[in-house]
Amino acid sequence: MASFDLDLMDVFMTIARAGSLTRAAERLHVTQPSVSHALARLRVHFGDPLFVRTRGGVRPTAFAQDLIDEIEQPLEVLRSVMGSAADFDPATSQRRYRLALTDIGEAALLPWIMAELLAQAPGISVEVVQIDIHQVGTWITEGSVDAAIVSTPLEGPFESSLVMVDKYGCVVGEDVELVDGRIGLDDFRSRPRAVVTETTGHEVARAMARAGGPDSPTVLVPHFAAMPQLVLRAGLVGVVPRGAVTEVLGGWPLRIAALPFEVDTFEVRLYWQGRHRLGPAQRWLISTIQHALADVQPDLDARTTNPSTARRADRT
């Protein structure tokens, strides 16, 4: 298959995955008229409409669905083989990448990622997408994000690598009495509690319930960034990942404490498409992120009462 035909089939598969010519154009970084023109050529070639309009976009015809089933995997293999031979020079690349992160991931991990990326590829740009744990697997599969960092295991045709192991703790005000870095059980139960929603990938309430703690938060918020103000101004206890949250708390007169009951640790992992679907530009991205986060693991056993002392030291 010639490279021109392969480009047309890429457009075909992107339309099929996106379910919309507009969304396909966005993912291909081209104009919608370009996608429409490519689709018109494909329709002439195959003698079939390929896609029909629906209320929400387009859906494949029966012929197109058969075609998708037949060519999807061979096309990905062919793209991988051709891509492995193609040149990719990070130093001159103008590529735009998309990463899915929580806001705590933005604060704790993104600075290290961007420093490493820009050191090698000063011309690239990165768009961060807020994690929705119910959608992120689809985003990765469809290629609408290049990678995601999440704390909930994803099921699908993905590859992943470990970023860090973390554990839930709590953010408290300076008025809260701690014993050996731990809040008392009665004190914890008597205070209003704030946790993040499960769309972030953090199942905080379930983790506390499994450990025998209270599972009914007072406030559910979609972002960790709200925690400092809720704790400081409203006297809440914020349940957070102990290792990652220190970057969010810098400068606030708050402390990080262990929960009054034992909770399991959890893995934070980097996810991306299966290896056979990666081109050289994406392989470079994944390997560079992995290198950037190679020493991110926090010391979860440390009795952290001052967030400013809990951050990992700058690398030299």
110 within domain boundaries:
yes
pLDDT of residue 239: 87
Please indicate, yes or no, whether residues 52 and 126 belong to a single structural domain of this protein.
no
Please indicate, yes or no, whether residues 225 and 293 belong to a single structural domain of this protein.
no
Q: Is 116 in contact with 291 (CB distance < 8 Å)?
A: yes
Please indicate, yes or no, whether residues 156 and 108 belong to a single structural domain of this protein.
yes
Q: Name the residue range of residue 23's domain.
A: 3-85
Please indicate, yes or no, whether residues 248 and 175 belong to a single structural domain of this protein.
yes
307 within domain boundaries:
no
Q: What is the CATH number of the domain that holds 225?
A: 3.40.190.10
Q: What would the mean pLDDT of 237-247 be, rounded to a whole number?
A: 82
Chain-centroid distance, C-alpha 291: 17
25 within domain boundaries:
yes
Please indicate, yes or no, whether residues 20 and 44 belong to a single structural domain of this protein.
yes
Backbone dihedral region of 47: left (phi > 0), alpha (psi from -120 to 50 degrees) or beta? left
Beta-strand (E) ranges in 118-157?
125-130, 147-150
Please indicate, yes or no, whether residues 60 and 128 belong to a single structural domain of this protein.
no
CA–CA separation, 270 and 280 (whole Å): 18
Last residue of a domain, one of 33, 53, 85: 85
Please indicate, yes or no, whether residues 109 and 130 belong to a single structural domain of this protein.
yes
310 within domain boundaries:
no
Q: For 182-196, how does the pLDDT look when each residue is reduced to its tens digit (9 = 90+)?
A: 999 888 888 888 888
Q: For 259-275, how does the pLDDT look when each residue is reduced to its tens digit (9 = 90+)?
A: 888 888 889 999 998 76
pLDDT of residue 315: 38
CA–CA separation, 64 and 58 (whole Å): 12
Q: What is the CATH number of the domain that holds 46?
A: 1.10.10.10
Neighbouring C-beta atoms of residue 186, cutoff 10 Å: 9
Whether pLDDT at 26 is above 80: yes
CB burial string 64-74: b at 16+ within 10 A, e below? beebbeeeeee
Q: For 100-137, how does the pLDDT look when each residue is reduced to its tens digit (9 = 90+)?
A: 998 888 888 999 999 999 999 999 999 999 988 889 99
Q: What would the mean pLDDT of 282-290 be, rounded to a whole number?
A: 93
Beta-strand (E) ranges in the chain?
51-54, 57-60, 96-101, 125-130, 147-150, 158-166, 168-173, 178-179, 182-183, 193-196, 219-221, 237-241, 254-258, 266-273
8 within domain boundaries:
yes
Please indicate, yes or no, whether residues 194 and 48 belong to a single structural domain of this protein.
no
Please tell me the total count of domains within the chain: 3
Please indicate, yes or no, whether residues 57 and 200 belong to a single structural domain of this protein.
no
CA–CA separation, 33 and 39 (whole Å): 10
Last residue of a domain, one of 243, 264, 285: 264
Please indicate, yes or no, whether residues 222 and 75 belong to a single structural domain of this protein.
no
Whether pLDDT at 299 is above 80: no
309 within domain boundaries:
no
Whether pLDDT at 42 is above 70: yes
Please indicate, yes or no, whether residues 221 and 271 belong to a single structural domain of this protein.
no
Write the secondary structure of 216-270 as one string of H (helix), E (strand) and C (coil): CCCEEECCHHHHHHHHHHHCCEEEEEHHHHCCCCCCCCEEEEECCCCCCCEEEEE
178 within domain boundaries:
yes
pLDDT of residue 81: 55
Give SS3 for 311: coil
Please indicate, yes or no, whether residues 272 and 150 belong to a single structural domain of this protein.
yes
